[in-house]
């Protein structure tokens, strides 16, 4: 009788432990899925931010270059007409 009781106790204990672990497993899978999504969003935000900085730098560089080109154009017109600028 004692052996039977021990068996039932052990079996019940195992089943309860399994149920608890299955719940934890489901919760972890859900958390991991949410974290992966969050990580992807963060990586995209970082990439977007980096791209914005690069675009801004390129715009500045372009503006500087355009400024330089325009200054060369004015110099060239002045020298060809005998004016000093």
Partner 1 sequence: MPYTDDEELPACPNCGTPNDTPSKVFSVIVEPKEGERGLTQRKVGMYQCSKCGTKYPIIVSRQKYLVIAEDQLKKIQSDVKDLKRTNEDLEQSVGSLKRNQEELEEMIKEKEKESQVKQLEVKLRALEGQVSYLKKEKGELEEKVSRFR
The residues binding partner 1 (CB under 8 A) are: 7, 10-11, 14-15, 17-18, 21-22, 24-25, 28-29, 31-32, 35-36, 38-39, 42-43, 46
Report the distance separating Cα 44 and Cα 47, nearest Å: 5
User: In terms of CB distance, is 8 or 63 closer to partner 1?
Assistant: 8
User: In terms of CB distance, is 10 or 68 closer to partner 1?
Assistant: 10
Report the distance separating Cα 59 and Cα 17, nearest Å: 62
User: In terms of CB distance, is 15 or 67 closer to partner 1?
Assistant: 15
């Amino acid at each position: 009788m004692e052996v039977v009781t021990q068996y039932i106790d052990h079996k019940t204990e195992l089943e309860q432990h399994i149920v608890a672990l299955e719940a934890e497993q489901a919760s972890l899978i859900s958390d991991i899925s949410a974290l992966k999504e969050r990580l992807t969003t963060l990586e995209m935000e970082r990439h977007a931010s980096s791209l914005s900085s690069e675009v801004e730098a390129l715009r500045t560089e372009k503006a500087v270059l355009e400024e330089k080109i325009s200054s060369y154009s004015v110099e060239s017109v002045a020298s060809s007409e005998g004016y000093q600028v």
